[in-house]
Structure 1
Amino acid sequence: MPSNAKNAAGAPDDYVVLGKLTSPYGVKGWLKVYSYTSPMDGILEYPEWVVVQRGERVTRRLIQGRRQGKGLVASLEGIDSREQAELLAGAEILLPKQTLPTLDAGDYYWYQLEGLRVVTLQDVDLGYVNYLFETGANDVLVVQGDERSLDGKERLLPFLPDEVIREADLEAGRLTVDWDPDF
């Protein structure tokens, strides 16, 4: 089962994106947080966040965080007013990869699966894992076809270990799936 830490788009390879600061919450500098972690409030377990906005990275200590309605809100060190919080709206929350917990065998962070070549049991190349997303029932791999793939098509594959996902070989950069290329 993959965990939702994502590759950091504009960040160095040694960071993952855990979430995003979306907008101010209240007048005392709190911010609404969109979390990519599973469970959602898992992001609050990390005491320091690397906040990136407009290419600038700043480490901020998490003072307090909590569920608020269907989302999360957080208070960060040095952000004491709504005006300061507004300046962080849209910023990504990064974490150094080495601080992520070690997963059990057969579990993967999403960033580890992104970029893997996807091949069927019959060794048909379907493309590479572009990204993953959650549905209610299971996670979904977006497999992007390219010049090396069978037909260049994009495919959506359910992340179902032992059913669809047969082997994830991170060292070889390969994800073997039980999938009909015509589907």
Structure 2
Amino acid sequence: MTQDSQETVVGRITSVFGVKGWLKVYSYTDPKEGILGYPNWILDLDGKRIPVKLEEGRRQGQAIVIRLKGINDRELARTYCGAEVRVPTADLPELPEGEYYWRQLQGLEVFTVEGECLGQVDHLIETGSNDVLVVHATAGSIDQRERLIPYLPDQVVREVDLVGHKLVVDWDPEF
């Protein structure tokens, strides 16, 4: 298992906050404050992996601000700006039946209900009304088009088979 598959990206440090070593974090969790529930972070900064402990954090307007253990100075905090925040995948809560983390859907082969291969899930985007699967063509797909398919379980997404590494959609390949 690769290092990336044992860790999940949950946010990014964006900037310093104040003069006492606090940092602003853009959280990918839902809700945004969910990132504060993980005490052990691995910062990925310019190819370096830095294990850190979350000392404290809170919502500050629309942002999340945090203080890392041992970081009490603005200039030292600044050196962490731009770091990707990762947590051990084992620390993520188990989801209810039929719900998936985005990372679980990435890389799945996408087939229509008729069995036509549309490609592979590259990533997802959040649009507000629903998430969207970004499907890139593969050598086995019916054409070389990129497709944006709404992630709507039971309507568009008919089956998610993590073991079989495939996702079945009720989707017109011409759309």
TM-score, normalization: structure 2?
0.96
Q: 1:13 aligns with which of 5, 22, 26?
A: 5
Across the aligned residues of Structure 1 and Structure 2, the Cα RMSD in angstroms comes to 1.2
**Residue of structure 2 in register with 1:42 after alignment:** 34
CA offset at residue 11 of structure 1? 4.8
CA offset at residue 145 of structure 1? 1.0
The 5 Å alignment of 1:86-125 reads 86-125=78-117
The 5 Å alignment of 1:28-107 reads 28-107=20-99
**Residue of structure 2 in register with 1:142 after alignment:** 134
**Residue of structure 2 in register with 1:5 after alignment:** none
Structure 2: how far apart are the matches of 1:138 and 1:60? Answer: 34
Q: Which runs of 5+ in 1 are unaligned?
A: 1-9
Q: 2:162 aligns with which of 159, 165, 170?
A: 170
AA matched with 1:174: K
Q: 2:148 aligns with which of 149, 156, 161?
A: 156
Q: How many residues align?
A: 174
TM-score, normalization: structure 1?
0.92
CA offset at residue 179 of structure 1? 0.3
* Percent of paired sites with the same residue: 51
Structure 1: how far apart are the matches of 2:174 and 2:3? Answer: 36
**1:155-180 deviations in whole A, cap 9, x for unaligned?**
11111010011110000000000100
Where does structure 1 differ by over 6 angstroms across 4 or more consecutive aligned residues? Answer: none
Mean alpha-carbon deviation: is it higher for 104-113 or for 52-61? 52-61
Contact 1:61 1:76 in 2 (8 A): yes
AA matched with 1:124: E
